[in-house]
Amino acid sequence: MRVFGYARRRMFFLPLGLLSVIVLAFLLVNALPGNPAGVIAGPAASPAELAGIERRLGLDKPLWERFTDYVGALVRGDFGSSYYTDRPILSEILRFAPATLELVVLSLTIAAVLGVGLGVLGAYYKGRSADRTSRLVVTTFQSIPDFFLALLLIYLCFYLAGWAPAPVGRLGLMDEPPPTVTGALLIDALISGDMRTFRSAVAHSLLPVLTLGIYYSAYFARSTYASLVPALESKQVEFARACGLSERTVLAYAFRQARTPILTYGGILLAALLGGAAIIETIFSWGGFGEWAIDSILQLDIPAVQGFILAAGVGTLLVFTALDILVAVLDPRVRYD
């Protein structure tokens, strides 16, 4: 039951982390050198226009007052509204998040399966040709920029082979989107029982999921390899072999020691990908959270950028907390202080 105590203490830190995220979101926009109002207005703006923009963004007030206003609004659930479209930021975030979550969860699943497979292969056959091959593959995956990999896959699978549909979004241009329930297209299509849309959604998610899956599998492979090699050389594995257990069982025992670092990596990547899939989303016109963030940043839509930073920060915070607790549950060696 020590785990519960640990979980409670870990949750206790959440408000503190939340406050830091809010402060960072605030400072990034308000305390950076350079005046965002000036950048929005452009070099040709008159002082009056500049003052107007500053007033609209609340930049004319002193820093401290701006901060209390910001926190006050957040407490009321008001994340502000977009500078350009006037849509409330919170509903924008909720509208774009499901698409990204769908992409990230699918990609991480592929990445974990592929990466753990490569890592186990390399670690088990350490020093032999399978290890060298696995290492070569992992190094290659790790050194290709993800957006370049996406374009390569588009060229190979769409243009040359014709296996995948054009990178036009989550569905084809002619497809009817299913009624929104969760916002995740695959699930919504299943709920409405529309198999044609479901197949189309699967086909359209193929390349982006594959891109991210391949790219991030390198991380899983490296952490699996790094933790499985010492595990396979440990005393208990030697003992298990001496007992005459089958190699499969021995590997399963060794893998138990390796699962915590792998899980940790999964959590870190999950958090990183909440916004980190942005370029891939842009290339495939995915219409997700990251793409929205990049568009907002490029337009200097200050309230939207702030909302994004806050949402990404909170998401990360929650993932990391859940991860710490999960690791404590799985690994009795973790110290609880």
In angstroms, rounded to a whole number, what is the distance separating the alpha carbons of residues 182 and 82? 24
Are the C-beta atoms of residues 307 and 79 closer than 8 Å to each other? yes
- In the complex with other proteins, which residue's Cβ is closer, 28 or 113? 28
> To which residue do tokens 């479901």 refer?
198
Q: Which residue lies nearer to other proteins by CB, 82 or 316? A: 316
Q: How far is the CB of 233 from other proteins (least distance, A)?
A: 5
Q: How far is the CB of 172 from other proteins (least distance, A)?
A: 14
| The CA-based dihedral angle spanning residues 12, 15, 21, 23, taken in that order and rounded to the nearest 10 degrees | -130
**Least distance CB 142 / other proteins (angstroms):** 7
CB of 188 to other proteins, least distance (A): 26
Rounded to whole angstroms, the Cα distance separating 189 from 204 reads 13
Measured from the CB atom, is 218 or 328 closer to other proteins? 218
Residue 1 or 174 with smaller CB distance to other proteins = 174
Cα dist. 320→63, 112, 260, 271 in Å? 31, 18, 14, 8
Give ∠ CA 56-59-63 in degrees, rounded to 5. Answer: 145
For the bound state, the minimum distance from the C-beta of residue 141 to other proteins, rounded and expressed in Å, comes to: 11
Match 């960072």 to its residue by tokens: 24
Output the smallest distance, CB 157 to other proteins, in A: 11
- Give CA–CA dist 14/191, Å, rounded: 35
Closer residue to other proteins, CB minimum distance, 50 or 166: 166
Residue 257 host element (H or E): helix 247-276
Question: Least distance in Å: CB of 178 to other proteins?
Answer: 26
Token representation of residue 129: 């040709």
Query: Please, which residues have CB within 8 angstroms of residue 225's CB and are 6 or more apart in sequence?
Result: 118, 119, 122, 123, 134, 138
DSSP 8-state class, residue 180: P
Which residues sit at the interface with other proteins, rule CB under 8 A? 17, 20-21, 24, 28-29, 32-34, 36, 39, 126-127, 132, 139, 142-145, 147-148, 151-152, 154-155, 158-159, 166-167, 229, 232-233, 241-242, 244, 246-248, 271-276, 278-279, 282-283, 290, 293-294, 297-298, 300, 305, 308-309, 312-313, 316-317, 320
Whose Cβ is closer to other proteins: residue 66's or residue 186's?
66
Q: Which CB, 121 or 189, lies closer to other proteins?
A: 121
